[in-house]
Amino acid sequence: MNISRHDTRKLAFQTLYALNSNIDATPSDVYATLLEDKVPAGDDIVPPYLTELVDGVLTHQAQIDEKIMEHLSANWSLARLNKTDLLILRLAIYEMLYVDGVPAKVALNEALQLAKEFSDDKSRRFINGVLSNLL
């Protein structure tokens, strides 16, 4: 199985979204569902970078959320953010701060690609603003 880094990020976003929506789900459950079409029958391979992203975001969520709050206007809170935008921000900030070998600009561009696929232009501009300020 050969999944690109972009597709892995997309799967990580989808996993985080599913976990955010379903309290009883585990990452393993979500991986199995998402990878069902991508992995040959009998293979049980989850890309290591997928687990690194998902586990990393979940582990460092409090610190990541603090970074997001530092770059929001005073009248905004995390609860007010669109869940899709929040998850894209968490994923990008995790890569920027905790993943060696991924330049911050690459993480930002990947976040904008995810926003293009899963959100709208207004959200993309918002995500770009927050991440650009973080840089």
Query: What are 64-73's contacts with CB under 8 Å, separation 24+?
Result: 64/89, 64/90, 64/93, 64/94, 64/97, 65/90, 67/93, 67/97, 67/134, 68/93, 68/130, 71/130, 71/133, 71/134, 72/130
Residue 39 has a pLDDT of: 60
How large is the average pLDDT for residues 76-84? 88
Average pLDDT over residues 81-88: 94
pLDDT at 9 (0 to 100): 95
- The predicted pLDDT at position 47 comes to 85
Query: Could you tell me which CATH number the domain at 5-134 has?
Result: 1.10.940.10
The mean predicted confidence, pLDDT, of the chain is: 89
**pLDDT tens digits along 4-55:** 899 999 999 999 999 988 778 888 888 888 887 666 555 568 889 999 999 9
